[in-house]
Structure 1
Amino acid sequence: MPFPALPAPLLAALAERGYAEPTPVQAAVLQPETLGRDLLVSAQTGSGKTVAYGLAMAADLLGDATRLPQAGAPLALVVAPTRELALQVQTELAWLYGPAGGRIVTCVGGTDPIAERRALERGAHIVAGTPGRLRDHLERGNLRPGALRAVVLDEADEMLDLGFREELEAILETTPAERRTLLFSATVPKPIVQIAKTYQRDALRIAASDQGAQHGDIDQRALLIAPHETERAVVNALRFFEARAALVFCRTRAAVARLHGNLVERGFSAVALSGELSQAERNRALQGLRDGRARVCVATDVAARGIDLPDLGLVIHAELPTDPETLLHRSGRTGRAGRKGTSVLLVPHNRRRAAERLLMDARVKASWGPAPTAEAIRAQDNTRILAQAAEVVAEEAAEDDLAMARTLLETQPAEALAAALIRQLRAPLPAPEELAAMAERAPPAARGGRSNADRGVGERSQDGSQPGVWFRMNLGRNGNADPRWVLPFLCRRGHVTRQEIGRIKVLERETQFEVAPWAAQRFASAARRPAEDEDAHIRIVPADSPPARAR
């Protein structure tokens, strides 16, 4: 449907930008019943919400006029969690209100506050900024709130997560009581509801989309990996789900630094974002992503707040998010503004159940499977390289180039020349990693059965139709081997769960044990790797046959 009645300059701006019809959130805030009311809007990131609240407050700012009055004390204030988001708000509202003579000023951390004070003194129609800097300008008298007709809290849940509640309350308490308050949030937890009750008047609740539901433009993948192979799996995911720009999430600064260094060493053009960076370093990293000099950004959740990269086609969760809201915020960085994106959740097999609960709580349906193998990546590379080579050959060649080609063909076979072209096309690609084989899903009987602790060591763990695979290790009663110690040791050493270890038989000089058939290959592969702890002297090998009494 087309946009409803709006001031002529805004309609002109929308038409110039190619907006033929509103997005769901834009349509929702322009319904007749929203006129003049406070709004509490839950909408997914990348849904066009900046333009949505820009349109929603048009009647408050313009009324029946076609141009805004001369810029003076601001008429609207937009509070955003991060500097990047505030600058993006300025960019969006500048083109939207440009035909109406709008002047947009930003007040954000990491910039010169004196320059901001002077910009405010020259006058503004809309001010966009971060909570701390806006509060500072209000307290110093640089920002005069008396004329404000509308206040927008953008990504309010993120501002609370970042600890800005006190600043938000201080800002809202200094603004006119009759102002209109528009609160936009991807999620609406209890603290947001409390803010709304305290600082909004009879707010109209709008769910522009089913909150927490599957984002239709994001292909959700959950990939099972061995616990020690996270960084290798990141490499293969980046290579397989090729995107112009990718964002990889880690939990800590140290993890960001380690993974970023490893990716650069492997040949990826990568940048890092974490709290220890200066604003100038942060700006350079983001600019590298926007102009294509870098294709991968490794970041913590806090450092990535408010980032909007139009060409971001891939999000990788190198470490599981702590809660459903974080999962949605991370994934929502891709698949924005109608573009398709992929979100890859790397799941160590021993944390699968935690990942399943996380996805269920976030109401996200993911396709489960193993991480891309080196073989699959090479096969995909071959297809892409052949297509690239065909494009190169199809280009019209200059006569000088053709003359050189004929000379080469006189001295080199055509096959060798074609192979040289393929080598050149393959050279920039980082090598894929060899990963441990990973079963996609254990049979239901095993996943639904009791744990070893429940059934007691020594009972059968598999039914008669699924005989286990037997292994033995060179430690028995002579080395104080005890089933209560053996079970967690095997899980740790072989990267399996308790449900995948069956019968355990402790003998005098060795211990024999059973591994579920679907996990045996993975267990054997992990157990063969040299251990680096105090148990490195323990060797695990396949048993020749099951113990006679255990059959």
Structure 2
Amino acid sequence: MTFELASPALARALAEHGYVVLTPVQAAVLKPEAEGRDILVSAQTGSGKTVAFGLAMASDLIGAGDKVPDVGAPLGLVIAPTRELALQVAQELRWLYSQAGARIVACVGGMDPRSERRALEAGAAVVVGTPGRLRDHLERGALDLSRLAAVALDEADEMLDMGFREDLEFILDATPETRRTLLFSATMPKSIVALAKKYQRNALRIEATGGETGHADIEYRAVRVDPREAEKAVINLLRFFDSPTAIVFCNTRDSSRHLQAMLQERGFTAALLSGELGQHERNLSIQALRDGRARVCVATDVAARGLDLPTVGLVIHADLPHDAEALQHRSGRTGRAGRKGVSVLLVPPKARRRAENLFAEAKVVPDWQAPPTADEIRKLDRERMTRDEAFSGEPSEEESEIAAALLGELGAEKCAQALARLLRARLPEAEEVADPGHAPDFASGKAPRGGRQPLAGGVWFRLDVGRDRNADPKWLLPMLCRKGGVTRADIGAIRIFPKDSKVEIAAAAAEAFLHNMRRPGGDPIRVERIGPSGDNAGPKERQPRKGEKKR
């Protein structure tokens, strides 16, 4: 360990968590000139600032001792803008102060306030919460701040942007004037400067960003994509990078729901995180990502701040961020605290100028490229199979006996082929995706030619999902087979229009298909029969009248 702490308890906790060196912001708050002073810190997400203000508060909570004293009221208070961030901060402080005997209590919106009041009554050394819930506990007399020694404001700029100024001032006015105020903010607008001036005394300014452009540990890539193939590009990027955890950002709830459903159809374990979910559902999604039951998080910008998943190696912007700040906050979910990460923006040709402006404003230089091809992914798959965890570790006696029996009965080649088939079956199929910079039909806006051939005597059905919901034959086909209980051979032509789609089903399977599609569960898609093959199957091209030029 290359750093020393006044508190042996915190030093032991850091060592147990593998800390060898501190991040720049963590080292900065421990410098002699910061001791005992208010601090105003500029620090980006992913810089280790939660541990930083935990370390900074240690002198106020335990001094040079080993335990946090029980004084009957909280000694430390941390205020965060969102429920997710507050819960994560509480989790970090629990391990940091575990050996110091500190009890950490979280108070956030969406949780049972009665349980929180009981936890506060039982005693807390540090309280972590969101502004609204903390103010509610204060007004009800459940939170006593009379003994408070230090208060930390995490992502203060975000709290002001979200309209929490009045709540923050109410809380800070209720704290003792002798308390230390630690203010952490990614940016320093005038509103933050004014807040610091009002509630801090002789504050030490710490610039922990180091003037870097973006995050030094994040590799930015801009992927050219035909907007009609954006979902295929997402699939190939997930398969190409094969990150333990990946986050895919969408701009709307509808697009995030649709993308999550599509990824699940293709065999990805994908969790959804958006503003429409209740707190319980959000907690379930985050827990699934933390314990590995889900490897992909499809999210709206509600998850761009505060979500800390240590295994995120890839962020995909399926929709372009609204501004450079959103780009950086989204991308900041990877490349955290010294780990490497990749941030990929899908850029349709018409949005290239806007993407270039985003990169320029964010001061990042991306690597422009085409989407990964199916051939590239298959080549990687073959290399990764040799490193599969199935080949690691010593086999048990029973496994060795089974292997010997299989080899003796089937032979090595047949066993290897079966193993390759099993390993391939676990992987979602890669997609054929074109580079729009080289696709001949892209500039004209024409749909790609080809597709499934019509059936003889098929029956047409209308689905209430079209291009406006990113409908695509590659997504529709497996969904129709699964939900409709038909095979690929039973499905003929698929026609996709702006607001709906029409599919042709073999006459012998039509009745069962309609019945199965109308059963509850799965994708909420309405289906109606529209006639035999060709009837009402879609708009026909109008033939020009005599003397009229064809358009």
TM range (shorter): 0.7 to 0.9
How far is 1:208 from its partner? 1.2
- Partner residue in 2 for 1:418: 416
Distance, in Å, in 2 between the alignment partners of 1:236 and 1:60 is: 51
- Partner residue in 1 for 2:302: 302
Question: Where do 1:136-285 residues align within 5 Å?
Answer: 136-211=136-211, 213-285=213-285
- Which string of whole-angstrom CA distances, capped at 9 and with x for unpartnered residues, describes residues 178-228 of structure 1? 321111122333433332233323332212123562322222211111122
Distance, in Å, in 1 between the alignment partners of 2:212 and 2:430 is: 34
TM-score, normalising length: structure 1: 0.76
How far is 1:389 from its partner? 9.9
| More displaced 10-residue stretch of structure 1: 95-104 or 131-140 | 95-104
Which of the residues 387, 404, 407 maps onto 1:405?
407
- Assess, with a 3 A threshold, how the Cα gap between structure 1 residues 391 and 280 changes in structure 2: closer, same or farther: same
- Partner residue in 1 for 2:503: none
How far is 1:116 from its partner? 1.1
Q: Say if 1:187 and 1:211, in contact at 8 Å, map to a contact too.
A: no
Question: Where do 1:528-547 residues align within 5 Å?
Answer: 532=497, 537=541
Q: Say if 1:389 and 1:422, in contact at 8 Å, map to a contact too.
A: no
Q: The residue matched to 2:234 in structure 1 has which SS?
A: helix
- Partner residue in 2 for 1:133: 133
Q: Say if 1:74 and 1:145, in contact at 8 Å, map to a contact too.
A: yes
Q: Say if 1:273 and 1:304, in contact at 8 Å, map to a contact too.
A: no
- Partner residue in 2 for 1:86: 86
Read off the aligned partner of 2:407 and give its amino acid letter: A
- Which string of whole-angstrom CA distances, capped at 9 and with x for unpartnered residues, describes residues 337-391 of structure 1? 3222211111112111111111111112211111112222122222223544993
| More displaced 10-residue stretch of structure 1: 132-141 or 529-538 | 529-538
Distance, in Å, in 2 between the alignment partners of 1:266 and 1:538 is: 38
How far is 1:257 from its partner? 0.6
- Is residue 2:431 matched to residue 1:429? no
- Partner residue in 2 for 1:547: none
Distance, in Å, in 1 between the alignment partners of 2:16 and 2:406 is: 49
How far is 1:150 from its partner? 1.2
- Partner residue in 2 for 1:545: none
Q: Which runs of 5+ in 2 are unaligned?
A: 449-493, 499-537, 544-551
Q: Say if 1:212 and 1:362, in contact at 8 Å, map to a contact too.
A: no
- Partner residue in 1 for 2:453: none
Read off the aligned partner of 1:423 and give its amino acid letter: R
- Which string of whole-angstrom CA distances, capped at 9 and with x for unpartnered residues, describes residues 126-149 of structure 1? 111111111110111111122212
Distance, in Å, in 2 between the alignment partners of 1:246 and 1:240 is: 12
Question: Where do 1:63-102 residues align within 5 Å?
Answer: 63-102=63-102
Distance, in Å, in 1 between the alignment partners of 2:93 and 2:394 is: 45
- Which string of whole-angstrom CA distances, capped at 9 and with x for unpartnered residues, describes residues 457-500 of structure 1? xxxxxxxxxxxx9x9xxxxxxxxxxxxxxxxx9665589xxxxx
- Assess, with a 3 A threshold, how the Cα gap between structure 1 residues 404 and 11 changes in structure 2: closer, same or farther: closer
- Which string of whole-angstrom CA distances, capped at 9 and with x for unpartnered residues, describes residues 482-541 of structure 1? xxxxxxx9665589xxxxxxxxxxxxxxxxxxxxxxxxxxxxxxxxx98846998599xx
- Assess, with a 3 A threshold, how the Cα gap between structure 1 residues 401 and 228 changes in structure 2: closer, same or farther: closer
- Assess, with a 3 A threshold, how the Cα gap between structure 1 residues 177 and 538 changes in structure 2: closer, same or farther: farther
How far is 1:46 from its partner? 2.1
| More displaced 10-residue stretch of structure 1: 419-428 or 94-103 | 94-103
- Which string of whole-angstrom CA distances, capped at 9 and with x for unpartnered residues, describes residues 292-324 of structure 1? 111111011114532111111111111111111
Q: The residue matched to 1:52 in structure 2 has which SS?
A: helix
Question: Where do 1:373-384 residues align within 5 Å?
Answer: 373-384=373-384
- Assess, with a 3 A threshold, how the Cα gap between structure 1 residues 162 and 423 changes in structure 2: closer, same or farther: farther
How far is 1:83 from its partner? 2.2
Read off the aligned partner of 1:405 and give its amino acid letter: L
- Assess, with a 3 A threshold, how the Cα gap between structure 1 residues 400 and 372 changes in structure 2: closer, same or farther: closer
- Partner residue in 2 for 1:347: 347
Q: The residue matched to 2:176 in structure 1 has which SS?
A: coil
Read off the aligned partner of 2:433 and give its amino acid letter: L
Q: Which runs of 5+ in 1 are unaligned?
A: 443-468, 472-488, 496-528, 540-551
| More displaced 10-residue stretch of structure 1: 153-162 or 108-117 | 153-162
- Which string of whole-angstrom CA distances, capped at 9 and with x for unpartnered residues, describes residues 419-475 of structure 1? 2221111011111222222339x9xxxxxxxxxxxxxxxxxxxxxxxxxx9x9xxxx
- Assess, with a 3 A threshold, how the Cα gap between structure 1 residues 55 and 258 changes in structure 2: closer, same or farther: same
Question: Where do 1:427-466 residues align within 5 Å?
Answer: 427-439=425-437
- Assess, with a 3 A threshold, how the Cα gap between structure 1 residues 228 and 52 changes in structure 2: closer, same or farther: same
Read off the aligned partner of 2:287 and give its amino acid letter: Q
- Partner residue in 2 for 1:53: 53
Task: Work out the percentage of aligned pairs sharing the same amino acid.
Answer: 59
Q: Say if 2:235 and 2:263, in contact at 8 Å, map to a contact too.
A: yes
Q: Say if 2:304 and 2:329, in contact at 8 Å, map to a contact too.
A: no
- Assess, with a 3 A threshold, how the Cα gap between structure 1 residues 346 and 128 changes in structure 2: closer, same or farther: same
- Which string of whole-angstrom CA distances, capped at 9 and with x for unpartnered residues, describes residues 160-188 of structure 1? 34333332222222222332111112233
Question: Where do 1:486-501 residues align within 5 Å?
Answer: 492-493=445-446
Read off the aligned partner of 1:427 and give its amino acid letter: A
Q: Say if 1:227 and 1:350, in contact at 8 Å, map to a contact too.
A: no
How far is 1:82 from its partner? 2.2
- Partner residue in 1 for 2:121: 121
- Partner residue in 2 for 1:482: none
Distance, in Å, in 2 between the alignment partners of 1:207 and 1:121 is: 38
- Assess, with a 3 A threshold, how the Cα gap between structure 1 residues 530 and 130 changes in structure 2: closer, same or farther: same
- Partner residue in 2 for 1:104: 104
Aligned residues: 457
Read off the aligned partner of 2:315 and give its amino acid letter: V
- Partner residue in 1 for 2:483: none
Distance, in Å, in 1 between the alignment partners of 2:279 and 2:165 is: 23
How far is 1:402 from its partner? 0.4
- Partner residue in 1 for 2:9: 9
TM-score, normalising length: structure 2: 0.76
- Assess, with a 3 A threshold, how the Cα gap between structure 1 residues 145 and 369 changes in structure 2: closer, same or farther: same
How far is 1:254 from its partner? 0.9
| More displaced 10-residue stretch of structure 1: 368-377 or 95-104 | 95-104
Q: The residue matched to 2:151 in structure 1 has which SS?
A: strand
- Is residue 2:19 matched to residue 1:19? yes
- Which string of whole-angstrom CA distances, capped at 9 and with x for unpartnered residues, describes residues 21-73 of structure 1? 32111111111211222212122222221111111122222335443221411
Q: The residue matched to 1:315 in structure 2 has which SS?
A: strand
